[in-house]
Amino acid sequence: MGDTRQQDRPDGDDRPDHDDITAHDQAGRAPAEAGDDALHVPVMRDRIIELLAPALERPGAVLVDGTLGLGGHSEALLRACPEARLVGVDRDTTALERSAERLAPYADRTHFAHAIYSEIPRALDEAGFAEADAVLLDLGVSSPQLDEAERGFAYAHDAPLDMRMDQGQELTAERIVNDYPVGELIRVLRTYGEERFAPRVARAIERRRAQKRIESTRELAELVREAIPAATRRTGGHPAKRTFQGLRIEVNAELSILQETFPAALSRLAVGGRIAVLSYHSLEDRMTKRAFAALATDTTPADLPVPLPDRRPELRLLTRGAELPTEEENERNPRAQSARLRAAERVRRPSRQ
């Protein structure tokens, strides 16, 4: 069978690829049962190996997994690239502990850092590496976070409104829901959740919290359901999915951190090195697309007869648009369904470095 990967719209179109891309906010999916390995299969694993392995073939090549999670992608790459070394980065200490156990057979080739992915340069410095030969970012909420109901990411189970990826931070979803002014709530739900009924939801929250603080995921999910018009509730999945997505992104500052991550990671990517980004909703994917496109374009003025050396592209795109999982993978791994994969190779250092 031929390659069934799909691509997104032409690169000139910055609209969301489709509304369902937000469905990777898997907060409505029940936590996995013990032994439910299907939910822990790394998304687009084989394609990521295909894209990143060529940069990891030399002895001592360095892979940075900026969103380590359960370590599935890193395990596959360490197995496929026996000369590679790993710097595994995650803001979630639980994820670091679990991935360290999983990657124990490769202990002599691994270094772990408790950090956010915009701190990749610091993680490299601590590991004693000047550059990375490959960088992987698998964005969004991870399997450990989804599968522990008490973390508060899931609206299908009653739990405290938490949603912190790093449980050492102070800001929680409960504080946002109960303490943000209504105008700020509308901003969060509309901008990060892409919720078109953000004002209705925010005002419903305001009325409820005037009576008592909203403290549980189930209470919030039911409140949102009641605030969404009945006709809309009949389609598009759980009515609370966009609200929960918006709150999660705000709690963890995901988009502002991602904005800082691209220049930080690319500043330490070696010439010939490769970067791959898996995103799960349109906001992340648009940011990735724009960051790559800006560095993959020759900026020589149009009236000059030849390209200027210092205006040549710094990146070469390895994917044509955003690649999607195959239908077979979607059937096998529900968490892959809204994934979008983009990858690029560094071909030139900027002249200022």
Name the residue ranges covered by the structural domains of the chain. Answer: 146-252
SS3 of residue 273 by DSSP: strand
Instruction: State the pLDDT confidence band at 304, using cuts at 50, 70 and 90.
Output: confident
Judge whether 259 is annotated as a binding position: no
- What backbone torsions phi and psi does residue 82 show, to the nearest 5 degrees? -65, -10
Which 8-state DSSP code applies to residue 216? Answer: B
Q: Find out whether 123 and 51 touch, Cβ atoms under 8 Å.
A: no
Q: Residue 325: left (phi > 0), alpha (psi -120 to 50), or beta?
A: beta
Cα gap 314→326, rounded to integer Å: 30
54: pLDDT strictly greater than 90: yes
Helix, coil or strand: residue 132: strand
pLDDT given at position 181: 98
pLDDT at position 265 is 97
Strand (E) or helix (H) holding 121: helix 120-127
CA atoms within 13 A on the CB side of 210: 8
- Does 18 appear as a known binding residue? no
Query: In this predicted structure, what is the pLDDT of residue 230?
Result: 87
- The answer to whether 72 is annotated as binding is yes
71 marked ligand binding residue: yes
Q: What is the Cα–Cα distance from 269 to 266, expressed in whole angstroms?
A: 5
d(CA 236, CA 238): 7
3-state helix, strand, coil in the chain (%, to 5): 45, 15, 40
Please name the helix (run of DSSP H) or strand (run of DSSP E) that holds residue 86, with its range, or none: strand 85-90
pLDDT of residue 149: 55
Phi, psi of 135 (to 5 degrees): -130, 135
Q: What is the pLDDT of residues 67-106, one digit of tens each?
A: 999 999 999 999 999 999 999 999 989 889 999 999 999 9
CATH top-level class of 146-252: mainly alpha
User: What is the distance between the alpha carbons of residues 79 and 271, in angstroms, rounded to a whole number?
Assistant: 24
Question: Any binding-site annotation on 192?
Answer: no
* Phi, psi dihedrals of residue 112, rounded to the nearest 5°: -115, 145
Q: Which of helix, strand or coil describes residue 242?
A: helix
Which amino acid appears at position 103 of this protein? L
Cβ-contact 99, 90 below 8 angstroms? yes
Q: What is the mean pLDDT of the chain?
A: 85
**pLDDT tens string 197-221:** 999 999 999 999 999 999 999 999 9
Q: Are strands 340-346 and 315-317 parallel, antiparallel or unpaired?
A: antiparallel
Q: What is the pLDDT of residues 263-276, one digit of tens each?
A: 999 999 999 999 99
Instruction: Find the farthest-apart pair of alpha carbons in the chain and give their distance in angstroms, rounded.
Output: 70
Contact present, 162 and 90 (Cβ < 8 Å) = no
Instruction: Calculate ∠ Cα 171-173-178, nearest 5°.
Output: 95
Give residue 142's pLDDT. Answer: 61
Report residue 155's pLDDT band, with 50, 70 and 90 as the boundaries: low
Q: In what order do the strands lie in the sheet with 62-65?
A: 110-114, 85-90, 62-65, 132-138, 269-279, 340-346, 315-317
Helix (H, G, I), strand (E, B) or coil at 342: strand
d(CA 21, CA 282) in angstroms, rounded, equals: 6
219 torsion bin: left (phi>0), alpha (psi -120 to 50), beta (else): alpha
**How confident is the model over 172-201, as pLDDT tens digits?**
999 999 999 999 999 999 999 999 999 999
Element (H, E) at 344: strand 340-346
pLDDT at 8 over 90: no
Quick: pLDDT tens for 116-150: 999 999 999 999 999 999 999 999 776 555 656 55
